[in-house]
Structure 1
Amino acid sequence: MPEGHSVHRLAKQFTSVFTGARLAVSSPQGRFAAGAEQLDGATLVSALAHGKQMFLRFDNDRVLRIHLGLYGAWSFGGDATFRGASSIGAPRRVGESEQPSDGGPAAYAGPPDPVGAVRVRLVSDHGWADLRGPTACEVITAAEEKVARAKLGPDPLRPRPDGSAFVTKVMSSITPVGIQLMNQAVIAGIGNIYRAEVLFLQGINPWRPGKQLREDEALGIWADTVRLMRDGVREGRIITTTVEARNGRPKRSAPTYVYKRTGEPCRRCGTAILSAEMAARTVYWCPSCQAD
Protein backbone atom coordinates (compact mmCIF):
# COMPACT_ATOMS: atom_id res chain seq x y z
CA MET A 1 0.00 0.00 0.00
CA PRO A 2 1.44 3.42 -0.92
CA GLU A 3 2.43 5.27 2.23
CA GLY A 4 1.80 8.92 3.00
CA HIS A 5 4.77 10.32 1.11
CA SER A 6 3.43 8.90 -2.19
CA VAL A 7 0.00 10.45 -1.64
CA HIS A 8 1.59 13.83 -0.94
CA ARG A 9 3.58 13.48 -4.15
CA LEU A 10 0.31 12.80 -5.93
CA ALA A 11 -1.26 15.93 -4.47
CA LYS A 12 1.72 17.97 -5.67
CA GLN A 13 1.36 16.37 -9.09
CA PHE A 14 -2.32 17.27 -9.38
CA THR A 15 -1.64 20.79 -8.11
CA SER A 16 1.04 21.22 -10.77
CA VAL A 17 -0.76 19.90 -13.83
CA PHE A 18 -4.50 20.25 -13.17
CA THR A 19 -5.25 23.06 -10.69
CA GLY A 20 -7.24 25.82 -12.40
CA ALA A 21 -8.14 23.59 -15.36
CA ARG A 22 -11.63 22.63 -16.46
CA LEU A 23 -11.65 18.84 -16.56
CA ALA A 24 -13.50 16.25 -18.56
CA VAL A 25 -14.20 13.44 -16.09
CA SER A 26 -15.29 9.96 -17.15
CA SER A 27 -15.29 6.37 -15.99
CA PRO A 28 -14.12 4.13 -18.85
CA GLN A 29 -14.70 1.09 -16.64
CA GLY A 30 -18.22 2.25 -15.85
CA ARG A 31 -18.14 1.65 -12.09
CA PHE A 32 -17.80 5.38 -11.33
CA ALA A 33 -20.15 6.73 -14.00
CA ALA A 34 -22.49 8.50 -11.56
CA GLY A 35 -19.62 10.13 -9.70
CA ALA A 36 -17.89 11.18 -12.92
CA GLU A 37 -21.10 12.87 -14.07
CA GLN A 38 -21.05 15.08 -10.97
CA LEU A 39 -17.49 16.25 -11.71
CA ASP A 40 -17.47 16.44 -15.50
CA GLY A 41 -16.85 19.99 -16.68
CA ALA A 42 -15.89 21.34 -13.26
CA THR A 43 -12.61 23.10 -12.51
CA LEU A 44 -10.09 21.62 -10.08
CA VAL A 45 -9.50 24.17 -7.32
CA SER A 46 -6.97 22.32 -5.17
CA ALA A 47 -5.53 18.92 -4.26
CA LEU A 48 -4.88 17.97 -0.64
CA ALA A 49 -3.30 14.89 0.91
CA HIS A 50 -4.07 13.80 4.46
CA GLY A 51 -2.26 10.62 5.38
CA LYS A 52 -3.08 7.97 2.79
CA GLN A 53 -6.12 9.79 1.42
CA MET A 54 -6.29 12.48 -1.26
CA PHE A 55 -9.03 15.05 -1.72
CA LEU A 56 -9.45 16.71 -5.12
CA ARG A 57 -11.59 19.81 -4.64
CA PHE A 58 -13.70 21.20 -7.49
CA ASP A 59 -15.41 24.55 -7.97
CA ASN A 60 -18.92 23.05 -7.72
CA ASP A 61 -18.54 22.18 -4.01
CA ARG A 62 -17.72 18.59 -4.88
CA VAL A 63 -14.67 16.68 -3.68
CA LEU A 64 -13.21 13.49 -5.14
CA ARG A 65 -11.93 11.39 -2.22
CA ILE A 66 -9.39 8.74 -3.15
CA HIS A 67 -7.76 6.02 -1.05
CA LEU A 68 -5.45 3.92 -3.23
CA GLY A 69 -5.30 0.96 -0.85
CA LEU A 70 -3.21 -2.05 -1.85
CA TYR A 71 -3.76 -1.94 -5.60
CA GLY A 72 -4.67 1.61 -6.57
CA ALA A 73 -2.45 3.66 -8.87
CA TRP A 74 -2.56 6.79 -11.02
CA SER A 75 -0.90 7.12 -14.42
CA PHE A 76 -0.33 10.42 -16.25
CA GLY A 77 0.48 11.68 -19.71
CA GLY A 78 0.21 14.78 -21.87
CA ASP A 79 1.99 17.36 -23.96
CA ALA A 80 5.33 19.05 -23.36
CA THR A 81 3.82 21.41 -20.77
CA PHE A 82 2.41 18.50 -18.76
CA ARG A 83 5.29 17.36 -16.56
CA GLY A 84 5.33 14.81 -13.76
CA ALA A 85 5.61 11.19 -12.80
CA SER A 86 4.31 8.58 -15.21
CA SER A 87 2.80 6.48 -12.43
CA ILE A 88 2.33 6.81 -8.68
CA GLY A 89 0.77 4.13 -6.50
CA ALA A 90 0.75 0.35 -6.36
CA PRO A 91 2.67 -1.83 -6.74
CA ARG A 92 5.34 -0.45 -4.41
CA ARG A 93 8.73 -1.98 -3.85
CA VAL A 94 11.41 -1.01 -1.37
CA GLY A 95 13.53 1.69 -2.96
CA GLU A 96 11.17 2.13 -5.94
CA SER A 97 10.95 5.59 -7.41
CA GLU A 98 8.46 7.07 -9.83
CA GLN A 99 9.85 7.52 -13.32
CA PRO A 100 9.35 10.93 -14.95
CA SER A 101 7.37 10.99 -18.16
CA ASP A 102 8.83 12.47 -21.32
CA GLY A 103 5.98 14.96 -21.51
CA GLY A 104 4.56 13.30 -24.62
CA PRO A 105 4.73 14.60 -28.17
CA ALA A 106 4.68 18.31 -28.88
CA ALA A 107 1.49 17.91 -30.91
CA TYR A 108 -0.78 16.50 -28.23
CA ALA A 109 -3.73 14.65 -29.73
CA GLY A 110 -5.51 13.79 -26.48
CA PRO A 111 -5.36 10.80 -24.17
CA PRO A 112 -4.80 7.28 -25.49
CA ASP A 113 -7.45 4.59 -25.37
CA PRO A 114 -7.93 3.35 -21.79
CA VAL A 115 -5.81 0.36 -20.83
CA GLY A 116 -7.23 -2.01 -18.22
CA ALA A 117 -9.98 -1.21 -15.75
CA VAL A 118 -9.75 2.59 -15.54
CA ARG A 119 -12.09 3.69 -12.75
CA VAL A 120 -11.68 7.44 -13.34
CA ARG A 121 -10.15 9.44 -16.18
CA LEU A 122 -9.42 13.17 -15.83
CA VAL A 123 -8.60 15.12 -18.99
CA SER A 124 -7.49 18.74 -19.42
CA ASP A 125 -6.35 20.63 -22.53
CA HIS A 126 -2.78 19.50 -21.87
CA GLY A 127 -2.91 16.05 -20.30
CA TRP A 128 -4.73 13.20 -18.64
CA ALA A 129 -4.70 11.04 -15.51
CA ASP A 130 -6.11 7.53 -15.14
CA LEU A 131 -6.98 5.85 -11.84
CA ARG A 132 -7.10 2.07 -11.47
CA GLY A 133 -7.91 -0.22 -8.56
CA PRO A 134 -8.53 2.19 -5.64
CA THR A 135 -9.96 1.01 -2.34
CA ALA A 136 -12.08 4.16 -2.07
CA CYS A 137 -13.24 6.48 -4.82
CA GLU A 138 -16.23 8.69 -4.10
CA VAL A 139 -17.66 12.15 -4.65
CA ILE A 140 -18.42 13.97 -1.41
CA THR A 141 -19.22 17.54 -0.36
CA ALA A 142 -16.80 19.97 1.27
CA ALA A 143 -18.62 19.44 4.57
CA GLU A 144 -18.24 15.67 4.25
CA GLU A 145 -14.53 16.13 3.59
CA LYS A 146 -14.19 17.88 6.94
CA VAL A 147 -15.92 14.97 8.66
CA ALA A 148 -13.67 12.43 6.92
CA ARG A 149 -10.49 14.30 7.83
CA ALA A 150 -11.61 14.78 11.43
CA LYS A 151 -11.46 10.99 11.82
CA LEU A 152 -7.79 10.94 10.81
CA GLY A 153 -4.83 11.52 13.10
CA PRO A 154 -2.22 14.24 12.59
CA ASP A 155 -0.29 14.07 9.32
CA PRO A 156 3.51 14.46 9.70
CA LEU A 157 3.66 16.01 6.22
CA ARG A 158 1.21 18.82 6.80
CA PRO A 159 2.69 22.34 7.03
CA ARG A 160 4.04 23.10 10.51
CA PRO A 161 3.41 19.56 11.82
CA ASP A 162 2.50 19.41 15.51
CA GLY A 163 3.09 16.08 17.24
CA SER A 164 1.33 16.89 20.50
CA ALA A 165 -1.92 15.12 19.55
CA PHE A 166 0.02 12.04 18.46
CA VAL A 167 2.01 11.95 21.68
CA THR A 168 -1.17 12.19 23.76
CA LYS A 169 -2.93 9.43 21.81
CA VAL A 170 -0.08 6.94 21.62
CA MET A 171 0.85 7.28 25.30
CA SER A 172 -2.73 6.94 26.55
CA SER A 173 -3.28 3.40 25.27
CA ILE A 174 -2.05 -0.02 26.37
CA THR A 175 -2.10 -1.12 22.71
CA PRO A 176 1.42 -1.97 21.44
CA VAL A 177 3.05 0.99 19.76
CA GLY A 178 3.62 -1.10 16.62
CA ILE A 179 -0.14 -1.46 16.18
CA GLN A 180 -0.87 2.15 17.00
CA LEU A 181 1.50 3.45 14.34
CA MET A 182 -0.60 1.66 11.69
CA ASN A 183 -3.82 3.18 13.06
CA GLN A 184 -4.64 6.14 10.81
CA ALA A 185 -6.67 7.70 13.64
CA VAL A 186 -3.49 7.92 15.73
CA ILE A 187 -1.10 9.13 13.02
CA ALA A 188 -1.99 9.50 9.35
CA GLY A 189 0.30 8.26 6.62
CA ILE A 190 2.53 5.65 8.25
CA GLY A 191 2.57 2.22 6.62
CA ASN A 192 4.45 -0.99 7.30
CA ILE A 193 7.84 0.24 6.09
CA TYR A 194 7.90 3.50 8.02
CA ARG A 195 6.60 1.73 11.12
CA ALA A 196 9.43 -0.80 11.16
CA GLU A 197 12.14 1.71 10.34
CA VAL A 198 11.09 4.49 12.74
CA LEU A 199 10.83 2.08 15.67
CA PHE A 200 14.27 0.69 14.83
CA LEU A 201 15.80 4.16 14.68
CA GLN A 202 14.28 4.98 18.07
CA GLY A 203 15.30 1.63 19.60
CA ILE A 204 11.71 0.84 20.58
CA ASN A 205 10.30 -2.69 20.53
CA PRO A 206 7.06 -2.75 18.49
CA TRP A 207 5.35 -4.85 21.15
CA ARG A 208 5.82 -2.27 23.92
CA PRO A 209 2.49 -0.84 25.16
CA GLY A 210 1.99 2.81 24.35
CA LYS A 211 1.53 3.63 28.04
CA GLN A 212 5.11 2.46 28.66
CA LEU A 213 6.58 5.03 26.28
CA ARG A 214 8.34 8.05 27.73
CA GLU A 215 7.33 11.40 26.33
CA ASP A 216 10.76 11.93 24.76
CA GLU A 217 10.42 8.54 23.00
CA ALA A 218 7.00 9.42 21.59
CA LEU A 219 8.33 12.79 20.43
CA GLY A 220 11.30 10.97 18.88
CA ILE A 221 8.95 8.73 16.88
CA TRP A 222 7.12 11.79 15.62
CA ALA A 223 10.31 13.68 14.73
CA ASP A 224 11.84 10.74 12.84
CA THR A 225 8.57 10.18 10.98
CA VAL A 226 8.44 13.82 9.89
CA ARG A 227 12.07 13.67 8.72
CA LEU A 228 11.84 10.36 6.87
CA MET A 229 8.53 11.11 5.18
CA ARG A 230 9.81 14.48 4.00
CA ASP A 231 12.77 12.63 2.52
CA GLY A 232 10.29 10.28 0.84
CA VAL A 233 8.41 13.17 -0.76
CA ARG A 234 11.66 14.68 -2.01
CA GLU A 235 13.22 11.44 -3.29
CA GLY A 236 10.09 9.64 -4.47
CA ARG A 237 10.98 6.52 -2.49
CA ILE A 238 11.48 5.35 1.09
CA ILE A 239 15.08 5.56 2.29
CA THR A 240 15.79 5.32 6.01
CA THR A 241 19.48 4.39 6.19
CA THR A 242 22.22 6.97 6.54
CA VAL A 243 24.95 7.61 4.00
CA GLU A 244 28.36 6.31 5.05
CA ALA A 245 31.76 7.37 3.77
CA ARG A 246 33.58 4.53 2.02
CA ASN A 247 36.95 5.07 0.39
CA GLY A 248 36.35 8.78 0.59
CA ARG A 249 33.02 8.53 -1.22
CA PRO A 250 29.51 8.69 0.26
CA LYS A 251 27.65 5.40 -0.19
CA ARG A 252 24.36 3.95 1.00
CA SER A 253 24.42 0.16 1.32
CA ALA A 254 20.63 -0.36 1.27
CA PRO A 255 17.38 1.62 1.67
CA THR A 256 16.18 0.12 4.98
CA TYR A 257 17.46 -1.27 8.28
CA VAL A 258 14.98 -4.00 9.22
CA TYR A 259 12.02 -4.06 6.81
CA LYS A 260 11.78 -7.44 5.00
CA ARG A 261 15.16 -8.54 6.39
CA THR A 262 14.00 -11.50 8.52
CA GLY A 263 16.99 -13.61 9.61
CA GLU A 264 19.54 -11.21 8.14
CA PRO A 265 22.10 -9.52 10.41
CA CYS A 266 21.19 -6.15 11.89
CA ARG A 267 23.11 -3.41 10.12
CA ARG A 268 24.14 -2.00 13.50
CA CYS A 269 24.77 -4.94 15.83
CA GLY A 270 24.73 -8.08 13.68
CA THR A 271 21.85 -9.78 15.53
CA ALA A 272 19.39 -11.64 13.30
CA ILE A 273 16.31 -9.55 12.45
CA LEU A 274 13.02 -10.97 13.71
CA SER A 275 9.55 -10.77 12.20
CA ALA A 276 6.08 -11.75 13.35
CA GLU A 277 2.45 -11.13 12.52
CA MET A 278 1.01 -8.10 14.28
CA ALA A 279 -2.62 -7.22 13.63
CA ALA A 280 -2.60 -9.07 10.29
CA ARG A 281 0.59 -7.38 9.06
CA THR A 282 4.23 -8.44 9.35
CA VAL A 283 6.36 -6.40 11.72
CA TYR A 284 10.19 -6.44 11.70
CA TRP A 285 12.62 -5.55 14.48
CA CYS A 286 16.08 -6.18 15.93
CA PRO A 287 15.76 -7.99 19.30
CA SER A 288 19.03 -6.43 20.49
CA CYS A 289 18.74 -2.82 19.32
CA GLN A 290 15.03 -2.81 20.21
CA ALA A 291 15.10 -4.79 23.42
CA ASP A 292 12.33 -4.16 25.96
Structure 2
Amino acid sequence: MPEGHTLHRLARLHKRRYSGAPVEVSSPQGRFADEAARLDGQVFTSAEAYGKHLLHHYGPLGTVHVHLGLYGTFNELPLPAAEPVGQVRMRLVGRTHWADLRGPTRCELLDAAQVDALKARLGPDPLRRDAKPDLAWERISRSRTSVAALLMDQAVLAGVGNVYRAEVLFRHGVAPMVPGRSLDRGLWEEMWADLVTLMRHGVRVGRIDTVAPEHMPAAQGRAPREDRHGGEVYVYRRAGMPCLVCGTPVAHQELVGRNLYWCPSCQPA
Protein backbone atom coordinates (compact mmCIF):
# COMPACT_ATOMS: atom_id res chain seq x y z
CA MET A 1 0.00 0.00 0.00
CA PRO A 2 1.41 3.45 -0.89
CA GLU A 3 2.63 5.42 2.11
CA GLY A 4 1.83 9.04 2.81
CA HIS A 5 4.64 10.57 0.77
CA THR A 6 3.18 8.99 -2.39
CA LEU A 7 -0.21 10.62 -1.84
CA HIS A 8 1.36 13.99 -1.13
CA ARG A 9 3.34 13.70 -4.36
CA LEU A 10 0.11 12.95 -6.23
CA ALA A 11 -1.66 15.87 -4.60
CA ARG A 12 1.12 18.24 -5.66
CA LEU A 13 1.14 16.84 -9.18
CA HIS A 14 -2.64 17.06 -9.60
CA LYS A 15 -2.78 20.54 -8.13
CA ARG A 16 -0.15 21.69 -10.62
CA ARG A 17 -1.71 20.01 -13.66
CA TYR A 18 -5.45 20.37 -13.11
CA SER A 19 -6.33 23.09 -10.59
CA GLY A 20 -7.81 26.44 -11.57
CA ALA A 21 -9.55 25.29 -14.76
CA PRO A 22 -12.45 23.12 -15.91
CA VAL A 23 -11.67 19.42 -16.28
CA GLU A 24 -13.33 16.48 -17.95
CA VAL A 25 -14.34 13.79 -15.47
CA SER A 26 -15.69 10.40 -16.50
CA SER A 27 -15.95 6.84 -15.28
CA PRO A 28 -15.35 4.40 -18.16
CA GLN A 29 -15.91 1.50 -15.75
CA GLY A 30 -19.21 3.01 -14.64
CA ARG A 31 -18.86 2.68 -10.86
CA PHE A 32 -18.29 6.42 -10.44
CA ALA A 33 -20.50 7.52 -13.35
CA ASP A 34 -23.16 9.57 -11.51
CA GLU A 35 -20.58 11.51 -9.51
CA ALA A 36 -18.39 12.03 -12.58
CA ALA A 37 -21.35 13.45 -14.52
CA ARG A 38 -21.87 16.07 -11.78
CA LEU A 39 -18.23 17.12 -11.93
CA ASP A 40 -17.60 16.95 -15.68
CA GLY A 41 -16.73 20.37 -17.05
CA GLN A 42 -16.41 21.95 -13.61
CA VAL A 43 -13.40 23.73 -12.15
CA PHE A 44 -10.92 21.58 -10.25
CA THR A 45 -10.11 24.01 -7.44
CA SER A 46 -7.34 22.23 -5.53
CA ALA A 47 -5.86 18.94 -4.32
CA GLU A 48 -4.45 17.87 -0.99
CA ALA A 49 -3.43 14.73 0.85
CA TYR A 50 -4.11 13.70 4.41
CA GLY A 51 -2.27 10.55 5.41
CA LYS A 52 -3.02 7.94 2.78
CA HIS A 53 -6.06 9.83 1.47
CA LEU A 54 -6.08 11.99 -1.67
CA LEU A 55 -8.66 14.78 -1.95
CA HIS A 56 -9.68 16.51 -5.18
CA HIS A 57 -11.67 19.66 -4.40
CA TYR A 58 -14.40 21.07 -6.65
CA GLY A 59 -15.61 23.95 -4.48
CA PRO A 60 -19.31 23.76 -3.51
CA LEU A 61 -19.79 20.67 -5.67
CA GLY A 62 -17.79 18.60 -3.18
CA THR A 63 -14.56 16.67 -2.93
CA VAL A 64 -13.49 13.44 -4.60
CA HIS A 65 -11.95 11.20 -1.92
CA VAL A 66 -9.51 8.59 -3.23
CA HIS A 67 -7.87 5.86 -1.16
CA LEU A 68 -5.62 3.72 -3.31
CA GLY A 69 -5.55 0.74 -0.95
CA LEU A 70 -3.36 -2.16 -2.00
CA TYR A 71 -4.03 -2.10 -5.72
CA GLY A 72 -5.06 1.42 -6.71
CA THR A 73 -2.93 3.33 -9.22
CA PHE A 74 -3.01 6.56 -11.21
CA ASN A 75 -1.36 6.76 -14.59
CA GLU A 76 -0.40 10.23 -15.79
CA LEU A 77 0.21 11.08 -19.43
CA PRO A 78 0.27 14.17 -21.67
CA LEU A 79 -2.64 14.83 -24.03
CA PRO A 80 -4.14 13.57 -26.22
CA ALA A 81 -5.93 10.94 -24.12
CA ALA A 82 -6.01 7.37 -25.37
CA GLU A 83 -8.98 5.03 -25.32
CA PRO A 84 -9.60 3.58 -21.83
CA VAL A 85 -7.97 0.23 -21.15
CA GLY A 86 -9.10 -2.04 -18.32
CA GLN A 87 -11.24 -1.08 -15.34
CA VAL A 88 -10.86 2.71 -15.19
CA ARG A 89 -12.81 3.97 -12.19
CA MET A 90 -12.20 7.66 -12.90
CA ARG A 91 -10.66 9.53 -15.81
CA LEU A 92 -9.48 13.11 -15.31
CA VAL A 93 -8.59 15.24 -18.35
CA GLY A 94 -7.09 18.69 -17.95
CA ARG A 95 -5.37 21.31 -20.09
CA THR A 96 -2.16 19.40 -20.75
CA HIS A 97 -2.45 15.96 -19.13
CA TRP A 98 -4.89 13.18 -18.36
CA ALA A 99 -4.97 10.55 -15.63
CA ASP A 100 -6.75 7.22 -15.20
CA LEU A 101 -7.50 5.79 -11.76
CA ARG A 102 -7.72 2.01 -11.48
CA GLY A 103 -8.37 -0.33 -8.56
CA PRO A 104 -8.83 2.09 -5.62
CA THR A 105 -10.35 1.05 -2.33
CA ARG A 106 -12.30 4.32 -2.33
CA CYS A 107 -13.36 6.75 -5.02
CA GLU A 108 -16.34 8.77 -3.80
CA LEU A 109 -17.78 12.26 -3.83
CA LEU A 110 -18.02 13.79 -0.35
CA ASP A 111 -19.53 17.01 0.94
CA ALA A 112 -17.65 19.36 3.29
CA ALA A 113 -19.05 17.76 6.45
CA GLN A 114 -18.00 14.30 5.26
CA VAL A 115 -14.48 15.54 4.50
CA ASP A 116 -14.25 17.04 7.98
CA ALA A 117 -15.42 13.74 9.48
CA LEU A 118 -12.80 11.84 7.47
CA LYS A 119 -10.01 14.08 8.72
CA ALA A 120 -11.31 13.86 12.30
CA ARG A 121 -10.89 10.07 12.21
CA LEU A 122 -7.20 10.36 11.33
CA GLY A 123 -4.19 11.05 13.50
CA PRO A 124 -1.71 13.82 12.70
CA ASP A 125 0.10 13.56 9.37
CA PRO A 126 3.86 14.32 9.60
CA LEU A 127 3.71 15.85 6.12
CA ARG A 128 1.05 18.43 6.94
CA ARG A 129 1.99 21.82 8.37
CA ASP A 130 -1.19 21.80 10.48
CA ALA A 131 -0.22 18.50 12.16
CA LYS A 132 -0.38 18.31 15.95
CA PRO A 133 2.02 15.58 17.13
CA ASP A 134 0.78 15.97 20.71
CA LEU A 135 -2.46 14.30 19.63
CA ALA A 136 -0.53 11.19 18.61
CA TRP A 137 1.46 11.28 21.84
CA GLU A 138 -1.75 11.37 23.89
CA ARG A 139 -2.86 8.10 22.28
CA ILE A 140 0.54 6.44 22.39
CA SER A 141 1.38 7.36 25.98
CA ARG A 142 -1.85 5.83 27.32
CA SER A 143 -1.74 2.60 25.35
CA ARG A 144 -0.58 -0.90 26.29
CA THR A 145 -0.44 -1.74 22.57
CA SER A 146 3.01 -2.18 21.04
CA VAL A 147 4.54 0.93 19.54
CA ALA A 148 4.96 -0.98 16.26
CA ALA A 149 1.20 -1.50 16.03
CA LEU A 150 0.41 2.06 17.11
CA LEU A 151 2.60 3.57 14.40
CA MET A 152 0.53 1.71 11.79
CA ASP A 153 -2.81 2.79 13.27
CA GLN A 154 -4.02 5.62 11.03
CA ALA A 155 -6.18 6.95 13.87
CA VAL A 156 -2.95 7.51 15.83
CA LEU A 157 -0.63 8.63 13.04
CA ALA A 158 -1.73 9.26 9.45
CA GLY A 159 0.41 8.35 6.46
CA VAL A 160 3.00 6.12 8.12
CA GLY A 161 3.10 2.66 6.59
CA ASN A 162 5.12 -0.50 6.96
CA VAL A 163 8.39 0.90 5.62
CA TYR A 164 8.51 4.11 7.62
CA ARG A 165 7.32 2.23 10.71
CA ALA A 166 10.15 -0.30 10.60
CA GLU A 167 12.79 2.24 9.70
CA VAL A 168 11.99 4.91 12.29
CA LEU A 169 11.95 2.29 15.05
CA PHE A 170 15.36 1.05 13.92
CA ARG A 171 16.83 4.54 13.60
CA HIS A 172 15.91 5.27 17.20
CA GLY A 173 16.77 1.87 18.67
CA VAL A 174 13.22 1.13 19.77
CA ALA A 175 12.15 -2.49 20.22
CA PRO A 176 8.92 -2.88 18.23
CA MET A 177 7.02 -4.68 21.01
CA VAL A 178 7.56 -1.98 23.62
CA PRO A 179 4.14 -0.77 24.85
CA GLY A 180 3.30 2.73 23.78
CA ARG A 181 2.96 3.91 27.37
CA SER A 182 6.59 2.88 28.04
CA LEU A 183 7.92 5.21 25.35
CA ASP A 184 9.72 8.30 26.61
CA ARG A 185 8.19 11.60 25.52
CA GLY A 186 11.52 13.03 24.44
CA LEU A 187 12.16 9.95 22.32
CA TRP A 188 8.73 10.27 20.72
CA GLU A 189 9.46 13.89 19.80
CA GLU A 190 12.71 12.80 18.17
CA MET A 191 10.89 10.06 16.25
CA TRP A 192 8.23 12.52 15.05
CA ALA A 193 10.88 14.99 13.85
CA ASP A 194 12.66 12.15 12.07
CA LEU A 195 9.45 11.05 10.34
CA VAL A 196 8.89 14.62 9.15
CA THR A 197 12.39 14.71 7.67
CA LEU A 198 12.27 11.25 6.11
CA MET A 199 8.81 11.65 4.63
CA ARG A 200 9.53 15.10 3.21
CA HIS A 201 12.55 13.58 1.50
CA GLY A 202 10.23 10.87 0.15
CA VAL A 203 7.94 13.52 -1.33
CA ARG A 204 10.88 15.24 -3.03
CA VAL A 205 12.53 12.16 -4.55
CA GLY A 206 9.65 9.67 -4.85
CA ARG A 207 11.23 6.85 -2.86
CA ILE A 208 12.01 5.94 0.74
CA ASP A 209 15.61 6.46 1.86
CA THR A 210 16.47 5.97 5.54
CA VAL A 211 20.16 4.97 5.55
CA ALA A 212 22.90 7.31 6.80
CA PRO A 213 25.78 8.12 4.40
CA GLU A 214 28.20 5.85 6.28
CA HIS A 215 25.88 2.87 5.71
CA MET A 216 25.19 3.45 2.01
CA PRO A 217 26.30 0.82 -0.54
CA ALA A 218 29.31 2.81 -1.74
CA ALA A 219 30.56 3.37 1.80
CA GLN A 220 30.15 -0.28 2.78
CA GLY A 221 31.22 -1.83 -0.51
CA ARG A 222 27.93 -3.66 -1.05
CA ALA A 223 25.49 -3.86 -3.93
CA PRO A 224 22.62 -1.34 -3.98
CA ARG A 225 19.24 -2.57 -2.81
CA GLU A 226 16.97 -3.96 -5.51
CA ASP A 227 13.31 -3.64 -4.60
CA ARG A 228 10.25 -2.20 -6.29
CA HIS A 229 9.91 0.29 -3.41
CA GLY A 230 13.32 1.75 -4.24
CA GLY A 231 15.64 3.52 -1.85
CA GLU A 232 18.08 2.27 0.77
CA VAL A 233 16.68 0.97 4.07
CA TYR A 234 18.05 -0.63 7.23
CA VAL A 235 15.63 -3.47 8.00
CA TYR A 236 12.51 -3.41 5.82
CA ARG A 237 12.33 -6.59 3.70
CA ARG A 238 15.81 -7.61 4.87
CA ALA A 239 14.78 -10.58 7.02
CA GLY A 240 17.74 -12.88 7.70
CA MET A 241 20.22 -10.48 6.12
CA PRO A 242 22.96 -8.87 8.25
CA CYS A 243 22.13 -5.59 9.92
CA LEU A 244 23.96 -2.78 8.15
CA VAL A 245 25.17 -1.46 11.51
CA CYS A 246 26.02 -4.50 13.65
CA GLY A 247 25.79 -7.55 11.37
CA THR A 248 23.06 -9.33 13.39
CA PRO A 249 20.50 -11.09 11.16
CA VAL A 250 17.40 -8.94 10.74
CA ALA A 251 14.38 -10.47 12.48
CA HIS A 252 10.87 -10.78 11.07
CA GLN A 253 7.39 -11.64 12.28
CA GLU A 254 3.80 -10.83 11.42
CA LEU A 255 2.04 -8.20 13.51
CA VAL A 256 -1.59 -7.21 12.98
CA GLY A 257 -1.54 -8.78 9.53
CA ARG A 258 1.58 -6.94 8.36
CA ASN A 259 5.25 -7.91 8.16
CA LEU A 260 7.46 -6.43 10.86
CA TYR A 261 11.26 -6.17 10.59
CA TRP A 262 13.82 -5.18 13.22
CA CYS A 263 17.38 -5.81 14.46
CA PRO A 264 17.41 -7.68 17.81
CA SER A 265 20.79 -6.14 18.72
CA CYS A 266 20.22 -2.52 17.71
CA GLN A 267 16.66 -2.59 19.04
CA PRO A 268 16.96 -4.63 22.26
CA ALA A 269 13.82 -5.45 24.22
Q: Structure 1-normalised TM-score?
A: 0.85
Question: 1:178 corresponds to which residue?
Answer: 148
Question: What do you get for the CA RMSD once the two structures are aligned?
Answer: 1.9
Task: Say whether the 8 Å CA contact 2:239–2:249 is kept in structure 1.
Answer: yes
The structure richer in helix per residue is: 2
The answer to whether 1:192 aligns with 2:162 is: yes
Counting only pairs closer than 5 Å after superposition, residues 149-164 of structure 1 correspond to structure 2 as 149-159=119-129, 161-164=131-134
Question: 1:268 corresponds to which residue?
Answer: 245
Q: CA offsets per residue over residues 193-224 of structure 1, 9 Å max, x none?
A: 00000000010011110011011121122111
Give the whole-Å Cα distance in 2 for the aligned partners of 1:201 and 1:188. Answer: 20
Question: Shift of residue 126 of structure 1?
Answer: 2.1
Task: Say whether the 8 Å CA contact 1:19–1:45 is kept in structure 2.
Answer: yes
1:288 to 259, 262, 265: 265
Amino acid at match of 1:195: R
Amino acid at match of 1:115: V
Question: 1:6 corresponds to which residue?
Answer: 6
Question: 1:96 corresponds to which residue?
Answer: none
2:112 to 142, 166, 178: 142
Q: CA offsets per residue over residues 84-136 of structure 1, 9 Å max, x none?
A: xxxxxxxxxxxxxxxxxxxxxxxxxx310112111000112322111000011
**Which 5+ residue runs of structure 1 have no aligned equivalent?**
80-109
**Which 5+ residue runs of structure 2 have no aligned equivalent?**
226-231
Counting only pairs closer than 5 Å after superposition, residues 85-100 of structure 1 correspond to structure 2 as none
Question: 1:209 corresponds to which residue?
Answer: 179
- Percent identity, aligned pairs only, is 47
Give the whole-Å Cα distance in 2 for the aligned partners of 1:251 and 1:64. Answer: 47
The answer to whether 1:38 aligns with 2:38 is: yes
Give the whole-Å Cα distance in 1 for the aligned partners of 2:175 and 2:219. Answer: 33
Q: Structure 1 stretches (4+) deviating beyond 6 angstroms?
A: 248-252
Q: CA offsets per residue over residues 220-259 of structure 1, 9 Å max, x none?
A: 221111111011001110111112399x989995400000
Give the whole-Å Cα distance in 1 for the aligned partners of 2:116 and 2:221. Answer: 44
Task: Say whether the 8 Å CA contact 1:42–1:59 is kept in structure 2.
Answer: no
Question: 1:70 corresponds to which residue?
Answer: 70
Q: Structure 2-normalised TM-score?
A: 0.92
Counting only pairs closer than 5 Å after superposition, residues 95-106 of structure 1 correspond to structure 2 as none
Question: 1:57 corresponds to which residue?
Answer: 57
Structure 1 residues 251, 51: CA separation in 2 closer, same or farther (over 3 Å shift)? farther
Task: Say whether the 8 Å CA contact 1:277–1:283 is kept in structure 2.
Answer: yes
Question: 2:95 corresponds to which residue?
Answer: 125
